[in-house]
Structure 1
Amino acid sequence: MLVRGDREYLVKPGEEFGTDLGVLEVPEDVDPGETLETHLGDEFRVRRLRGPDLFHHFERTGAPMVPRDVGLVLGETGVSTGDRVLDAGTGTGVLSAFVARAGATVVTYERNADFAEVARENMALAGVADRVEVRTGDVADDLESLVASEDPFDVLTLDTGDAPTVVERAPELLLEGGFVAVYSPFVEASREVVETAREVGLSDVRTRETIQREMDFDDRGSRPSTAPVGHTGYLTVARNE
């Protein structure tokens, strides 16, 4: 990542990059912390790409899961190195990338073929293409083959309208002690997920609204921002025991 003030650009090593401040030749062996000059003498700092940068610089095919919701998924499920994760509703791929950067391997399903291709490109940008398999299709259509031919997964993450159909098979898809995490923008969908999870015997089923307020600090004092309330959706978590 090349940074100058509030400007940020993602550039591959070895590429030539042009801005209104001049042309940059990015060396193949460039390292974070170096300073590069354009042909006009303007300087850019080289910074290593980190997880939060992905949210801002991935090519988007819709509204991606925001970092605070990704953090809740990672914290609630404990995804870590060596885990296998089944994901559905890839979209931009932010969640899959974060999970893979935590050390897990991911199989993720995206119905839209064009969106799936963009997600594959985003995984390459994130440096996790070798740990994320983006499959084009609906995970609900592959449930039988997943149960029959795949080893059980450690974590199941869902951001799809047919999540209850997948949750119904969670006891077969997950290892003992594995987690399912379902994100939904609507509470009615979350209720259906909760009911299904309880019916199939998942334990510790709980739903939280994901909401966060920023703080304003000025000469008058400090208080929560009066900007619109930061609601994004509902996260349901359950465990296979």
Structure 2
Amino acid sequence: MEGELFLLKDSKGRAFLVRLRPGGVFHHHKGSVPHEAILRAGPGGVVETHLGEPLSVHRPTLEEYVLHMRRSATPTYPKDASAMVALLDLAPGMRVLEAGTGSGGLTLFLARAVGKEGLVESYEKRPHHLKQAEENIRAFWQVENVRFHAQGLEEATLAPESFHGVALDLMEPWKVLPKAAEALMPDRFLVAYLPNITQVLETVRAAEGLPLRLERVLEVGWREWEIRLPVAHPRFQQVGHTAFLVAFRRWKAS
């Protein structure tokens, strides 16, 4: 029981991430419910608070976990993380390089994509971010396929052409682009997550002269709809711009 993760949803669809512990109690504004009752109900079940509020019980999906886990930095949104996995063309058994780790959201998507036979080498030079990321990742993902490095990518020693993919979530990725490009296998992909277009232009400029070809620059849209039969309309609260994804393909250096 101790340490198990559950997601509770109330009648208005609000979600709450709960880590069970012996004698623990979950407190909702419409009452409380013991952790033992949540465990008995199990995934797909329903519990009621002492005031009669029904709460559905679930195993959190990766998306739900990333949106509700503790954060030391703004996480890569699941819509962007899943797109990065697709752009990197990751598959089980591959090795992927990541910098920086942040709160560990993107790391989890990468780790699940490469599977237990694969490996994620994640670099983060801010100790408090790395500590939180390690806690977040190990709480959700028990597979030992992530190797954490408490340093910036600038200081790392990387074997040439040793990674199937590179994921960068850094304010100034152009500073590590030569090293990252050298560590990437030919005909494989490097994807950078960048909040503003000025960073995109600087990164593309820095790639000139490197064995990297710009493949595409894109934003990922995510528009949810509210369905209340017989009425349907887009949700009033929408996730707007989060970041630009900049994808490069490496070619063989002459």
Gaps of 5+ in 1: none
TM-score by length of 1: 0.81
Higher mean Cα deviation, 228-237 or 37-46?
37-46
Confirm or deny: 8 A CA contact 2:192 2:246 kept in the other structure: yes
Check whether the contact 1:88–1:139 (CA below 8 A) recurs between aligned residues.
Answer: yes
- Aligned counterparts, 1:196-211, within 5 A: 196-211=206-221
Q: Which residue is equivalent to 1:146?
A: 158
Q: 1:165 aligns with which of 172, 175, 184?
A: 175
The corresponding residue for 2:3 is none
Task: Confirm or deny that 1:130 pairs with 2:135.
Answer: no
Give the deviation of 1:214 after TM superposition.
4.9
- Give the equivalent residue in structure 1 for 2:125: 111
5+ unaligned residues in a row in structure 2: which ranges? 1-5
Distance in 2 of aligned mates of 1:44 and 1:15:
20
Residue 53 of structure 1 deviates from its aligned partner by 1.1
CA contact (8 A) 2:8 2:55 kept: yes
SS of the residue aligned with 1:170? helix
How far apart, CA to CA, are the structure 2 residues paired with 1:121 and 1:152? 27
**Counterparts of 1:227 and 1:13, CA distance in 2:** 31
Amino acid aligned to 1:175: M
Query: How far apart, CA to CA, are the structure 2 residues paired with 1:39 and 1:231?
Result: 41
Superposed, which structure 2 residues align to 1:1-241 within 5 Å? 1-5=6-10, 6-12=13-19, 15-18=22-25, 19=27, 20-25=31-36, 32-34=43-45, 44-102=55-113, 103=115, 104-128=118-142, 130-142=144-156, 145-147=157-159, 152-214=162-224, 230-241=240-251
Report SS of the residue matched to 2:176.
helix
Aligned residues of 1:170 and 1:240 also touching (Cα < 8 A): no
Aligned length: 237
- How big is the alpha-carbon RMSD for the aligned residues of Structure 1 and Structure 2? 3.4
Deviation per CA, 1:144-184: give whole Å up to 9, x if none: x1237xx7011100011231122212342012222100111
Give the share of equivalent positions with the same residue, in percent: 28
Letter in 1 for 2:149: R
Which deviations, in whole Å up to 9, do the C-alpha atoms of 1:43-68 show, x marking residues without a partner? Answer: 65442221111222211112211122
